[in-house]
Amino acid sequence: MAESKDPTNANLEESETKKPKSMAAQTGLPERETVGTTGEEGAHGDVSASAGSKLAAPETEPVVKPATKPAKRKKEEPAPVQAARESLSLSADEIDKPKVVKAKGSKNIHSGIAHVLSTFNNTIVTITDMKGNVIGWSSAGKVGFKGSRKSTAYAAQMVAQDASRQAMGHGLKEVEVLVKGPGAGRESAVRALQAVGLDLTVIRDVTPMPHNGCRPPKPRRV
């Protein structure tokens, strides 16, 4: 008897023969198993894949701006030399003693007289021997003061120092001081003479005072 073929089996065989072969079968390589991920595993897999792609991407180097040239340093200007401040104090300790240079025609005068003329505009100091012969003199203008500074106490101090330096070059050591005038340099000149190193034997005020000797002028008529 002839075997009767099952129509269902025949249809399955035909469908199997008609199925296209996979890429692995065509190339001869073994097929890889594909594992489907669902739920949390799929989410983690996507994150890891994205993180891997970010890490694998080449990092872009930060843009470095070219360094600016250092600013040129200004030439350091030397600080202006401040002029020596004037010592306005009249204390004997702070007065500098002048350098005494022996005069060429030294007269070897031991004692003398210091005439101090102090007005409202100037101060003049003249040092003489006991007979009145001048051995040293100075004034505010000679020392270098001008204008209203000539009548100051500091100018009188410098004048007395200059005059005493000249006189001490002749060997002067002690003086009598005769003060004349109402100016501001009366006391400062005397203190400067003492601070320089001279011995003051007498200090006398010889300012002329009127005592009704001269006839007064007539009153002014306007």
Q: What is the pLDDT of residues 162-205, one digit of tens each?
A: 999 999 999 999 999 999 999 999 999 999 999 999 999 999 99
Contact assessment for residue 174 and residue 201, using Cβ atoms and an 8 Å cutoff:
yes
Contact assessment for residue 172 and residue 110, using Cβ atoms and an 8 Å cutoff:
yes
Whether pLDDT at 92 is above 60:
no
Work out the angle at residue 130's Cα, subtended by the Cα atoms of residues 123 and 209, and round it to the nearest 5 degrees: 50
3-state SS class at 73: coil
The pLDDT assigned to 198 comes to 92
Task: Give the C-alpha separation, 191 to 88, whole Å.
Answer: 13
Question: Strand 123-128 vs strand 134-139: parallel, antiparallel, or unpaired?
Answer: antiparallel
3-state SS class at 204: strand
Q: Which of 43-52, 88-97, 120-129, 141-150 has the lowest mean pLDDT?
A: 43-52
The pLDDT assigned to 98 comes to 58
Return the percent helix, strand and coil in the chain, to nearest 5.
35, 15, 50
Mean pLDDT value of segment 78-106: 56
Task: Give the C-alpha separation, 15 to 8, whole Å.
Answer: 11
Whether pLDDT at 51 is above 60:
no
- Model confidence at 210, pLDDT cuts 50, 70, 90, reads confident
Whether pLDDT at 153 is above 70:
yes
Contact assessment for residue 163 and residue 127, using Cβ atoms and an 8 Å cutoff:
yes
Task: Give the C-alpha separation, 17 to 85, whole Å.
Answer: 123
Q: Residue 113 forms beta bridges with which residues?
A: 128, 176
The pLDDT assigned to 149 comes to 93
Cβ-count burial of 170 within 10 angstroms (0-12 exposed, 13-18 middle, 19+ buried)? Answer: buried
**Which ranges in the chain belong to alpha helices (H)?**
7-18, 23-27, 40-56, 140-143, 153-168, 186-196
Between residues 73 and 115, which one has the greater pLDDT?
115
Mean pLDDT value of segment 100-118: 81
The pLDDT assigned to 28 comes to 55
Contact assessment for residue 179 and residue 203, using Cβ atoms and an 8 Å cutoff:
yes
Angle between helices 153-168 and 186-196 (to 10 degrees): 40
Q: Residue 180 forms beta bridges with which residues?
A: 117
The pLDDT assigned to 214 comes to 85
3-state SS class at 149: helix
- Model confidence at 84, pLDDT cuts 50, 70, 90, reads very low
Q: What is the pLDDT of residues 4-14, one digit of tens each?
A: 555 555 555 55
